[in-house]
């Protein structure tokens, strides 16, 4: 089969995600297990650990655009707390502060036009008791009128039961400030905290919140559909995030799995526990960015069709990234099936024999990272494309 002449399979994956999301965030059952349920096992012989892993043709509209990442650091004041509201001990405070800094740098990797903190604002509690919501006002370079009366505003929020900070911006921010949420309230009280970033749903921008789904209607106007997000009623299988070392690694992987459910990705069924690759003997260069990757945590799902990845590096704040098809297939396709736009100068094939990759899937994925770079964002929609930022450039799927 020609690997560059079909894209219907991937349109199916994306369309399936889109069709299901309206129902999922509005409280209908998804394909994942509920609390106490079992997780379907991968069919025999389709483990990513062997060569019989199912492969799919790469769509002809998937390409790579090389672009080295600049050295990005959070703006001054990002993640700083009001002294009277700082949480817990110093370790807890630093961990929460780093989540805001990580979200800020991720937004810059996505080329969001941020310009620091708005008005010297500090991270503070939103007046909503459960779950506790932390918020900071950031500034955008692309000001527009909104219901908050602050045209330069971008809100960065974190709920106490999630391990990630998300932003609310543009017309979603405008709607978030209107008293049209539950109980006639606005902000976190009326809509809840964001549980995802923005994603494409049925060709419409959408974002999942604690209390429902914010999306666009057929006229492009923002609407809010109340409902319980899937992650509040679904528990990951015991194998999700299973790791014999640091419990914080397991928690981060489970949180990323829940994020995928709130974005209503196809059911993520784990193939094996989290694998750790100690790369300190042979660090992976990041391209033109300073620093290198010294370790990778990888968990495979759906017979290698998806993966959760956490990279260790002093060059950026750590965050678990979700890899979906067709990006996963492009990364594991091998050096003889590189994407249009990739050149040998984009990245140096890297597969040192001295490292223990433990299985074929993690070895091929790591080799893909050496060519295209480490994932710095999840996949997101922009200008008619599903894109994903890597440390050596952009993977772009034209829809």
pLDDT, tens digit, 9 for 90 and up, residues 177-203:
999 999 999 999 999 999 999 988 787
Q: Which SS3 state, helix, strand or coil, does residue 67 take? A: coil
| pLDDT top residue among 336 and 322 | 322
Buried b or exposed e, range 158-180, using 16+ CB within 10 angstroms: bbeebbbbbbbbbebbbbbbbeb
What DSSP state is assigned to residue 98?
H
103 in a structural domain? yes
Let me know the angle formed at the C-alpha of 147 by 142 and 148, rounded to the nearest 5 degrees.
75
Looking at 232, 250, 271, the residue that finishes a domain is: 232
Considering only residues 37 and 83, tell me which one the structure prediction assigns the higher pLDDT. Answer: 83
The string of pLDDT tens digits covering residues 159-182 is: 888 889 999 999 999 999 999 999
89 and 223 share a domain? yes
For residue 354, the 8-state DSSP code is T
From 214, 232, 250, give the residue that closes a domain.
Answer: 232
Under 8 Å CB-to-CB from 208, ≥6 apart: which residues?
25, 194, 195, 196, 214, 229, 262, 263
pLDDT of residue 328: 96
Structure confidence at residue 31 (pLDDT): 35
Q: What residues contact 4, with CB distance under 8 A and at least 6 apart? A: 57, 58, 60
Shared domain check, 391 and 281: yes
Handedness of CA 116, 119, 124, 128 (dihedral sign): negative
Contacting residues for 392 by C-beta, under 8 A, at least 6 apart: 66, 67, 68, 69, 286, 287, 346, 347, 371, 372, 373
Same domain, 29 and 41: yes
The reported pLDDT for the residue numbered 209 is: 95
**pLDDT band of 349, cuts 50, 70, 90:** low
Say what the pLDDT of residue 97 is.
94
Segment 147-153 shows an average pLDDT of 97
Q: Supply the pTM of this predicted model.
A: 0.84
Residues 201, 119: one domain?
A: yes
In a domain, 157, yes or no: yes
The predicted structure's pLDDT at residue 34: 39
Note the pLDDT of residue 289: 60
Domain shared by 57 and 101, yes or no: no
Q: How far is CA 339 from the centre of its chain?
A: 22
State the virtual CA torsion across 234, 237, 240, 243 in degrees, nearest 10: 130
Give the residue-averaged pLDDT of 264-279: 91
* Per-residue model confidence (pLDDT) at position 30: 36
Indicate if the alpha-carbon torsion angle 37, 164, 111, 362 is positive or negative: negative
Q: Same domain for 50 and 88?
A: no
Q: Does residue 215 share a domain with residue 171?
A: yes
Residue 384 has a pLDDT of: 86
Residue appearing with tokens 């060709």: 203
Q: Decide if 1 is inside a domain.
A: no
Number of domains present in the structure of the chain: 2
Q: End of a domain among 232, 261, 291?
A: 232
Which helix (DSSP H) or strand (DSSP E) does residue 290 occupy?
none
In a 3-state reduction of DSSP, which class is residue 214?
A: strand
Q: Say what the pLDDT of residue 49 is.
A: 39
Residue 348: predicted pLDDT: 55
Distance CA 203, CA 117 (A): 32
Whether residue 116 is found in the same domain as residue 224:
yes
Write the pLDDT tens digit of every residue in 382-398.
Answer: 888 999 999 999 999 99
DSSP 90: H
Query: According to the model, what pLDDT value does residue 399 have?
Result: 85
Residue 351 — pLDDT band, cuts 50, 70, 90? low
Asked whether residue 342 falls in the same domain as residue 219, the answer is no
Same structural domain for residues 13 and 97? no
How many other C-beta atoms can be found within 10 angstroms of the C-beta atom of residue 14? 21
> What are the pLDDT digits (tens) for 289-328?
677 899 999 999 999 999 999 999 988 888 999 999 999 9
* Residue 90 phi, psi (nearest 5): -65, -35
What's the pLDDT score for residue 359?
87
Domain that holds residue 270: 8-69+234-398
Q: 347 pLDDT exceeds 50?
A: yes
Any residues with CB less than 8 A from the CB of 68 and at least 6 apart, and which?
287, 288, 289, 391, 392, 393
pLDDT level of residue 27 (50, 70, 90 thresholds): very low
H-helix or E-strand containing 77?
none
Q: What does the pLDDT look like over 99-141, one tens digit per residue?
A: 999 999 999 999 999 999 999 999 999 876 677 899 999 999 9
Domain match, 163 and 300 both = no
**Per-residue pLDDT tens for 213-253?**
999 988 889 999 999 998 888 889 999 999 987 899 999 99
pLDDT in tens, 56-103: 789 999 999 999 887 888 999 999 998 777 777 888 889 999 999 999
| pLDDT, position 108 | 95
Q: Is residue 45 domain-shared with residue 88, that is, in the same domain?
A: no
pLDDT of 323: 96
| Residue 142 confidence (pLDDT) | 92
């Amino acid at each position: 089969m020609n690997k560059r002449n079909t894209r219907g399979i991937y349109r199916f994956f994306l369309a399936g995600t889109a069709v299901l999301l309206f129902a999922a965030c509005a409280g209908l059952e998804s394909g994942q297990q509920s609390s106490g349920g079992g997780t379907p096992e991968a069919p025999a012989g389709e483990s990513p650990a062997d060569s019989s892993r199912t492969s799919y043709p790469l769509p002809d509209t998937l390409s790579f655009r090389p672009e080295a990442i600049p050295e990005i650091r959070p703006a001054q004041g990002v993640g700083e707390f009001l002294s009277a509201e700082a949480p817990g001990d110093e370790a807890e405070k630093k961990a929460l502060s780093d989540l805001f800094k990580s979200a800020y740098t991720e937004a810059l990797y996505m080329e969001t036009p941020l310009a620091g903190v708005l008005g010297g604002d500090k991270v503070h509690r939103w007046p909503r008791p459960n779950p506790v919501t932390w918020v900071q006002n950031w500034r955008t370079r692309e000001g527009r009128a909104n219901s908050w009366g602050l045209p330069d505003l971008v809100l960065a929020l974190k709920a106490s039961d999630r391990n990630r900070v998300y932003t609310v911006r543009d017309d979603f921010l405008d709607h978030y400030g209107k008293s049209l949420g539950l109980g006639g309230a606005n902000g976190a009280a009326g809509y809840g905290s964001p549980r995802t970033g923005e994603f494409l749903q049925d060709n419409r921008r959408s974002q999942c919140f604690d209390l429902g789904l914010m999306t666009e209607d057929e006229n492009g106007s923002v609407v809010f559909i109340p409902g319980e997000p899937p992650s509040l009623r679904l528990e990951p299988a015991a194998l999700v995030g299973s790791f014999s070392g640091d419990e914080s690694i397991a928690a981060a992987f489970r949180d990323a799995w829940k994020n995928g459910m709130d974005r209503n990705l196809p059911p993520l069924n784990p193939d094996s526990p989290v694998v750790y690759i100690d790369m300190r003997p042979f660090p992976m260069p990041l391209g033109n960015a300073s620093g290198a990757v010294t370790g990778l945590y990888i968990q495979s799902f759906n017979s290698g069709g998806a993966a959760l990845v956490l990279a260790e590096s002093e060059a950026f704040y750590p965050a678990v990234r979700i890899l979906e098809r067709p990006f996963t297939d492009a990364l594991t396709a091998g050096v003889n099936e590189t994407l249009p736009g990739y050149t040998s100068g984009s990245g140096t094939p890297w597969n040192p024999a001295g490292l223990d990759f433990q299985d074929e899937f993690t070895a091929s994925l790591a080799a893909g990272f050496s060519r295209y770079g480490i994932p710095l964002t999840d996949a997101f929609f922009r200008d008619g494309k599903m894109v994903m930022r890597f440390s050596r450039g952009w993977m772009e799927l034209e829809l």
